[in-house]
Amino acid sequence: MLISTRGRYALRVLTDMAENQGDAYLPLKEIAARQEISEKYLESIVKDLVRSGILTGLRGKGGGYRLGLPPDRIGVYEVLEIMEGTLAPVACLEKGHPLCPRMPTCRTLPMWQGLDAAIREYLGRYSIADLMHREDASYDFII
């Protein structure tokens, strides 16, 4: 499993917005500048986040974007699933994938199911609120 820039940038943008939002809508241009991400690329990411209800947008003067949910209700797993489409380690575990005729005798299926459960459980522990304002120096990393 490899998380794309879309998934990583979505988490960065949401964390940035949670830390900087206040009562106003945030212009995408400001977020892009703070995060050093192309505004054009962020437009496509934000579009998916608006469609999912995680963000709301307002056009015109004073417009921009704001969180549609409180940061503690925006799960990291859900954001990555929206951006990546699936986090399943193998195709047979993807939502809506037809059942594999080999499933009853597949020797590796339990291993893949365990990995899938571990990914869901681990990422499911985190929300955008958990990613905000990390004061711990050991958390000095870039996603």
Task: State what percent of residues in the chain have pLDDT above 90.
Answer: 76
1 — pLDDT class (breaks 50, 70, 90): confident
Q: Each residue of 70-128: pLDDT tens digit?
A: 999 999 999 999 999 999 999 999 988 888 888 889 999 999 999 999 999 999 999 99
CATH class of the domain at 5-86+127-135: mainly alpha
Angle 107-109-110 from CA coordinates, rounded to 5°: 95
Q: Between helices 28-35 and 39-51, what is the axis angle to 10°?
A: 120
140 — pLDDT class (breaks 50, 70, 90): low
Q: Each residue of 8-65: pLDDT tens digit?
A: 999 999 999 999 988 889 999 999 999 999 999 999 999 999 999 999 999 988 889 9
Domain positions in the chain: 5-86+127-135
Nearest alpha carbon to residue 55 among 41, 43, 39, 38: 43
Query: How many CA within 13 A on the CB side of residue 137?
Result: 0
Mapped onto helix, strand or coil, the DSSP state of residue 101 is coil
